Structure 1
């Protein structure tokens, strides 16, 4: 009889003990970390799939465009005296070894006007932003200076001078390229370049009247090219001026140089931007002898952004999943403790799984609509489900309304934090402080000593 009383009292203690309830809730929260981690992996998997599809679209349409040039390429001779000992004559014989190297001269002025017509291409549920850029390139070359390298005029091979342009995207070029130098026009042809980030386009040998031997000579080039995501230029001119107009309303200006803020305009119909870069602003010279350097790090331009990234926002939302589950469990725990209503661990588990389902709804719906719509649909669905379930557990419309109000406030708070960038930490800290203060005020009514 006493054993039965002891068993009954022990079972009653397990059922009513606040400490046991707290341990049980803590263990359930740890268990629910497992489905949340799977949801995070699902978001990352879908994001990787999106990146793969976008890359495939971009490769077929045309990858990002980086333009480097035009550059004047002038070959010259280097003389090396080679002495050889002759045993028969008992003297040295001398031989002049001639090697050909190249000098590269950047233009004195470089003006680029670019009109970017953008659009989105989709495959399945994914889309990428692509564009067609219509560019007018003008400028001038001044007389090259070989005196700094002590190169004699007779060693300069003017008759083998060419002009080159480097680009990362030859596939996207949609017009026949003819570079006009003075009164002459020269078609550009691709040339194989090993181990280079850019591909080279080069003219045939320039005619005498196209060479800037004595006077500066003007050049012009019209280029229509398909690209995706980015359009960038390297400021090779002694003075480089670039102007861009586009119908894309979400540009991100990047690189070493930003556009003039007085001329930059961004609206719902597109953007306008202008750059001016002088030689003194750069980290490289106007001429190079031997090899053309890799100066891609000096590029500047624009990146066309898709305004919202649903997967990034969904991933940010899942980071607060632990907070949502913990605070919801805490609300049920406080109600249970204050009202002396028994809630079974299985019921806590069902509530936790319902909260986890919000994130799968968010991901799946946002792939077919906006993040706001997906968040609203997922949030309303979960709040209604848990509220109705709490009515069956707690047997009270008052507690059901309190649960619904708490969840609405919590999901609204999380949504506001996700939308904010600069003030996310500030708003989050204030919100958590208020939540903690509310919990402390409510928990004063609990008799912690009667356990």
Structure 2
């Protein structure tokens, strides 16, 4: 027998050759599977771009810091001025204007948030409109810390300041009532990290100096993704209510457990933050720092969307392809049915096609519908194809059952989040045990045991 015939017989009859061939085909199929992963990522990025564009026009995430009492004051610096007549330097004092910022003693915020979907083509974003009612009290500001004389405090220049991350989304004229006196606020673009709203009327001098200031204010604002507040009150209490069913409470503080309610119709949450819970005091002099790191609130979390589910599903592509081809390989070895490498390749490509069907259908329908339709189509296609290859009803039913089990197993894992790893590990253990059991009688030298 010639060497060529020996190699041909080895490739035809050797179990090792069949396993090497199938393994090589699986590696080849990783190439189109990688292209499918790139396609899913590309479509997912496109979705995020469209959502970001929708959100930017409606209103992006909102952080509210205020109201803050802003009082200018003078401090004096020594200057040396050269006198041409005496040819000496004369010492003078120059008044430099600074600002002091005082936070309220009490800050109560009642926020009612209504969410709604916005669509563009096949993409959808969830946005909200928030109506925030703010109430509280300012105490008499103290400059003792800076040792500023009473005559150097510009009480008649005091104003009220709000910092808002998203001026574009504001839907009402923002005003504040101080002891029943209304003051409108206008934008001041002088801050790098937050946009500023400041009262356009100077506050009453006697009210600031001689009594506490009770305030009321209302802000209606459009936003998306997150709504947060900075706890500038010595005691800050925030109550939030919304029709959104999937909130994620984030930021520097979490809501009280007894005040938190979440249902399919929406949620309610309540926060209470004290001055002792923060790392900043009730006043700042000269400049107001960025306090957004202390903000807290709610992210209006969109549950795992179809692109995320499809991406997670594609990560199991190697396992589905490998196990499906392994089933055909075991059938071939145990029954001596001849399966050509081209036929293995066709089965593998059909398995890859499942993911393109899944992503394309899920863009127009929901993930469940897309999974059932694309999975049913591929299982039917491979089952019919295997019937013509195997010419045995028992083996065809085995292929059908194994594929239905695999796709059902993957679907269950995708639906689970907290227990996905646990269920996946147990499922893989069961699959491996089944393969080990069914292959125990195979004589890997090339013969089936009696």
Query: Which residue of the partner structure matches residue 333 of structure 2?
Result: 337
Q: 1:180 aligns with which of 169, 174, 177?
A: 177
Query: Which residue of the partner structure matches residue 353 of structure 1?
Result: 349
Contact 2:184 2:201 survives alignment (8 Å): no
Q: Structure 2: which 5+ residue stretches go unaligned?
A: none
- Distance apart, 1:210 and its partner CA: 6.6
- Distance apart, 1:8 and its partner CA: 4.0
Q: 1:367 aligns with which of 358, 363, 368?
A: 363
Aligned-residue CA RMSD (Å): 1.6
- Distance apart, 1:422 and its partner CA: 2.1
The change in CA–CA distance for 1:208 and 1:450 in structure 2 (over 3 A counts) is: closer
The change in CA–CA distance for 1:210 and 1:29 in structure 2 (over 3 A counts) is: farther
Question: Please, what TM-score do these two structures have when normalized by structure 1?
Answer: 0.96
Query: Which residue of the partner structure matches residue 198 of structure 1?
Result: 194
- Distance apart, 1:37 and its partner CA: 0.5
Query: Which residue of the partner structure matches residue 396 of structure 1?
Result: 392
Contact 1:181 1:210 survives alignment (8 Å): no
Q: 2:220 aligns with which of 217, 220, 224?
A: 224
- Distance apart, 1:81 and its partner CA: 2.2
Distance 2:352 2:206 in 1: 71
- Which whole-Å deviations, capped at 9, do the CAs of 1:357-389 have from their partners, x for residues lacking one? 111111111112221121111111111111111
Q: 2:229 aligns with which of 226, 233, 246?
A: 233
Query: Residue 58 in 1 paired to residue 62 in 2?
Result: no
The change in CA–CA distance for 1:9 and 1:421 in structure 2 (over 3 A counts) is: same
Query: Which residue of the partner structure matches residue 138 of structure 1?
Result: 135
- Distance apart, 1:64 and its partner CA: 1.3
Query: Counterparts in 2 of 1:154-303, with a 5 A limit?
Result: 154-194=151-191, 196-208=192-204, 211-303=207-299
Query: Which residue of the partner structure matches residue 76 of structure 1?
Result: 73
Query: Residue 304 in 1 paired to residue 303 in 2?
Result: no
Distance 1:62 1:7 in 2: 72
Question: Please, what TM-score do these two structures have when normalized by structure 2?
Answer: 0.96
Distance 2:375 2:206 in 1: 70
- Which whole-Å deviations, capped at 9, do the CAs of 1:101-124 have from their partners, x for residues lacking one? 111111111111111111000000
Contact 2:101 2:284 survives alignment (8 Å): yes
Q: 1:105 aligns with which of 98, 102, 107?
A: 102
Q: 2:417 aligns with which of 414, 417, 421?
A: 421
The change in CA–CA distance for 1:193 and 1:435 in structure 2 (over 3 A counts) is: same
Query: Residue 326 in 1 paired to residue 322 in 2?
Result: yes
Contact 1:164 1:202 survives alignment (8 Å): yes
The change in CA–CA distance for 1:109 and 1:310 in structure 2 (over 3 A counts) is: same
